[in-house]
Structure 1
């Protein structure tokens, strides 16, 4: 698409003559489904800047395990909320919502289309629908008690506590996601209301003119892609990347060390398992994570699902048509057009 054909999306923003909401393009899907390649093509076509919707890509020094797109692979597209904090910091969904909301405003101010791309469901949904994060504070003594319980009885036992009081959160959160399991327990401890009930009460009205594209594919094929990606991560030096993080003496419960790839390889480096066992565990955990991602997204509304097993070029044309229709932009695409 050349400059003459490029749609003038910013004219449909809330400060435009029509008084419409700010357009926001969103691309979601499970890990390894192909979001990165698709996002670059869409960003170039729609004059967009990308906001990473990944909870781990915010951390510096965590590149391989998060499948972070390198600078020389971004094809001139601006990317936001990547490498914005150190692994010692406990970055949260509320932090993301604040940062992403500001990024959306800044991008729109420059006449570009804000474009969230990522797979962390709560992060993305919190921005799309303006979730309110209650400031209920914290109970450090309670947190320490839960951490000691997990250390003594195992993460599965602590997770069972959560599943007993909040089955929905128990199903959504992995037992190894210790920080979020403890936070969900803490919310119930301090308010008497489950985390899931609080989320269910959130508004589903968006402050934006949303166009959400979801990518999916056959489960078996997706799992093969996940395993191939992990094999590539190992070749690229994931073990050395995790070793460097451990040398910073990050506590095991640090958010960064709960990320897929980091907690499994850390167990190997601590001498608790073989490298082969760590890699197999990582593949299994990532497959399960992808399943949870799809489960989360399928509870969101207004998603246009695209089967990535179909022809990529045809899928791209379909997505362009969806975006043009949603944002009411007069732009025609033909099957022989070059993108």
Structure 2
């Protein structure tokens, strides 16, 4: 949930063999599909955090970004890209790969994401697709027949009630401003730039247009009012985006509800500090771990905790247990 500034996460080679055989053994001559986890949710609900949490608990796993603004290079604060530190060594794909002036379409995403996911699976890793652009996810899962033939998906929907999410989004904008967003946007500003194309569509860029055009020619009071108005507009637009995203998620839920699970993170977002962390782990992470474990390993027993597993040599551990959750 922190505001971050770096765009590319360090690639760390997998250290655990995620057995594709679990997903690929033939059944009545029909090969079982490989598996992928998809994390959805409105802006600011903790999708990236949950993806990294789960990747750390089901190694080796790698994350494929499905946020249509984070796919572009630049504006790391404005687009809220995860930092290398926050990645915790989990490899990320499709972060900052596109030219900021290009139009990276849903079709482009499908092509790049499919290639990344195929590569992840070939290396016996679990692909976790996470991001707020539901149109990208729908294009991949629904419109790409090759993906549908190869993969079975488990959808995790991280949800926060809007009365709780709205003030969180407002505080997040304040933290982005404190982290240097105005300077970041000022360096990127182009008076002739097109706010309908590429990364310039991102919330947090067009709202500063009037402020940046006039800041050098107006008095301090006028400049302050213009800046405050831009920040207020960013907050309002983020709340509006969350509502549009929720409408789309509800529609997707009607399509995918057999494999889609709602994770209510509202109580965690009401709290701060250690209490928020504890509620996240118990109400969101623990439940998602159980869901993903069942998805990956069917009806196998609950996996022992890391402290129990550490006392058992790997060669004595049951095959499925050795491949399952070992949170650090």
Please give the TM-score of this superposition, normalised by the length of structure 2: 0.74
Q: Tell me by how many angstroms 1:49 deviates.
A: 0.2
Where in structure 1 do 4 or more consecutive aligned residues deviate above 4 Å?
Answer: 203-207, 333-338
Q: Tell me by how many angstroms 1:10 deviates.
A: 2.2
Instruction: Look up the SS of the partner of 2:209 in the other structure.
Output: helix
Q: Tell me by how many angstroms 1:11 deviates.
A: 2.2
Describe the superposition over 1:149-169 as per-residue Cα deviations: whole angstroms up to 9, x where unpaired. Answer: xxxxxxxxxxxxxxxxxxxxx
Counterpart-to-counterpart distance in 1, 2:147 and 2:280? 31
Structure 1 residue aligned with 2:137, among 124, 127, 136?
A: 124
Whether contact under 8 Å (1:130, 1:207) holds in the other structure is no
Counterpart-to-counterpart distance in 1, 2:80 and 2:266? 21
* Pairing 1:248-259 to 2, within 5 Å after superposition: 250-259=193-202
Unaligned runs of at least 5 residues, structure 2? 1-15, 216-224, 268-278, 308-325
Cα 1:309/1:253, change in 2 over 3 Å: closer
Corresponding residue for residue 83 of structure 1: 96
Whether contact under 8 Å (1:321, 1:333) holds in the other structure is no
1:312 pairs with 2:325: no
Instruction: Look up the SS of the partner of 2:266 in the other structure.
Output: coil
1:215 pairs with 2:158: yes
Counterpart-to-counterpart distance in 2, 1:289 and 1:244? 25
1:326 pairs with 2:278: no
Whether contact under 8 Å (1:44, 1:77) holds in the other structure is yes
1:233 pairs with 2:176: yes
Q: Tell me by how many angstroms 1:332 deviates.
A: 1.2
Q: Tell me by how many angstroms 1:313 deviates.
A: 2.0
Corresponding residue for residue 56 of structure 1: 69
Structure 1 residue aligned with 2:237, among 285, 298, 308?
A: 285
Q: Tell me by how many angstroms 1:328 deviates.
A: 3.0
Whether contact under 8 Å (1:317, 1:335) holds in the other structure is no
Structure 2 residue aligned with 1:244, among 176, 184, 187?
A: 187
Whether contact under 8 Å (1:29, 1:119) holds in the other structure is yes
Whether contact under 8 Å (2:121, 2:127) holds in the other structure is yes
Please give the TM-score of this superposition, normalised by the length of structure 1: 0.71
Counterpart-to-counterpart distance in 2, 1:245 and 1:206? 42
Counterpart-to-counterpart distance in 2, 1:121 and 1:206? 20
1:68 pairs with 2:36: no
Instruction: Look up the SS of the partner of 1:114 in the other structure.
Output: strand
* Pairing 1:69-148 to 2, within 5 Å after superposition: 69-131=82-144
Counterpart-to-counterpart distance in 1, 2:131 and 2:227? 29
1:11 pairs with 2:25: no
Counterpart-to-counterpart distance in 2, 1:204 and 1:109? 14
Q: Tell me by how many angstroms 1:307 deviates.
A: 0.4
Describe the superposition over 1:72-120 as per-residue Cα deviations: whole angstroms up to 9, x where unpaired. Answer: 2210000000010221111111100100010000000001001101110
Counterpart-to-counterpart distance in 1, 2:213 and 2:93? 34
Corresponding residue for residue 43 of structure 2: 31
Describe the superposition over 1:178-209 as per-residue Cα deviations: whole angstroms up to 9, x where unpaired. Answer: xxxxxxxxxxxxxxxxxxxxxxxxx9967521
Instruction: Look up the SS of the partner of 2:214 in the other structure.
Output: coil
Cα 1:286/1:307, change in 2 over 3 Å: same
Instruction: Look up the SS of the partner of 2:158 in the other structure.
Output: strand
